[in-house]
Amino acid sequence: MFGFLKKKEPVQLNEMLYAVTTGNLIPISEVNDPVFSQKMMGDGFAIIPESGDIYSPIVGEVLSVFQTKHAVGMKMANGLEILLHMGIDTVELNGEPFDIKVSEGAKVTHETLIAKVDLEAITVAGKAIDMVVVITNMDNVKNFKLSKTGAVVAGVEVGIAEA
C-alpha cells in the first residue's frame, strides 16, 4: 500500500564486458584503424570473428542502432556508454551485410544476439571484419581492464569497466 516506505532494491551493477563473438580478442590499440587504435573514441577491445553471430558486450540497454546498421550504441547500468562497431569502414556498405536483431530501448545481456553479420560480404568489399567494442565516455571510467586476449568464445567475461 505505501510503496514509498518499502526499501528500494539496490541497482545491480554488472560492470563486466563480454566477448561479442568467438574469435581472436585483441586490445583496441592493435586495431588497424587510427581512430580506434589511438583511442580517439575511447578504450576497449576488438575481436576478429570466426562467426557472424554478434552478441551484446554488456548487460544494459540499447541506446541507438545506426541507420547504416554497422554500429549499435548501448549503456551499462553504471552509466558507461558502449559502442559496438562491426567492421572497419563498413559505414560505406549501407547496412547490406548486417541483420540487426535489437532495437532502441531493448534490454540486453551477454546472451542477447545483436546482429547476424555476413563476414564474407565485408571481406569481399575489401573491409576488415574486426568487431570493435569501445567505451565512449572514458571521462566517467574509474577503471578499465581487459582480463583476456587471444582466443575467446562468445559470452565469456573479457574485462571490467567501472564507473
CATH no. of 20-150:
2.70.70.10
Residue 126 confidence (pLDDT) = 97
Round the average pLDDT of the chain to a whole number and report it.
94
Residue 13 confidence (pLDDT) = 73
Cell output for 119: 563476414
Is residue 27 predicted with pLDDT exceeding 60? Answer: yes
Is residue 83 predicted with pLDDT exceeding 60? Answer: yes
Task: State how far Cα 39 lies from the chain centre.
Answer: 15
CB 25 within 8 A of CB 47: yes
Is residue 15 predicted with pLDDT exceeding 70? Answer: yes
Count helices and strands in the chain by DSSP H and E runs: 2, 14
Is residue 139 predicted with pLDDT exceeding 90? Answer: yes
Tell me the domain boundaries of the chain. 20-150
Backbone angles phi, psi at 22, to 5 degrees: -85, 135
Per-residue confidence at 8, pLDDT binned at 50, 70, 90?
Answer: low
Cell output for 42: 575511447
Per-residue confidence at 64, pLDDT binned at 50, 70, 90?
Answer: very high
Active site residues: 85
- Which residue reads 577503471 in cell numbers? 143
Point out the least confidently predicted range of 9-23, 37-51, 132-146. Answer: 9-23
Is residue 4 predicted with pLDDT exceeding 60? Answer: no
Buried b (16+ CB within 10 A) or exposed e, 26-43: bebeebebeebbebebbb
Is residue 80 predicted with pLDDT exceeding 70? Answer: yes
Element housing 34 (H / E): helix 34-37
Is residue 92 predicted with pLDDT exceeding 60? Answer: yes
Is residue 2 predicted with pLDDT exceeding 90? Answer: no
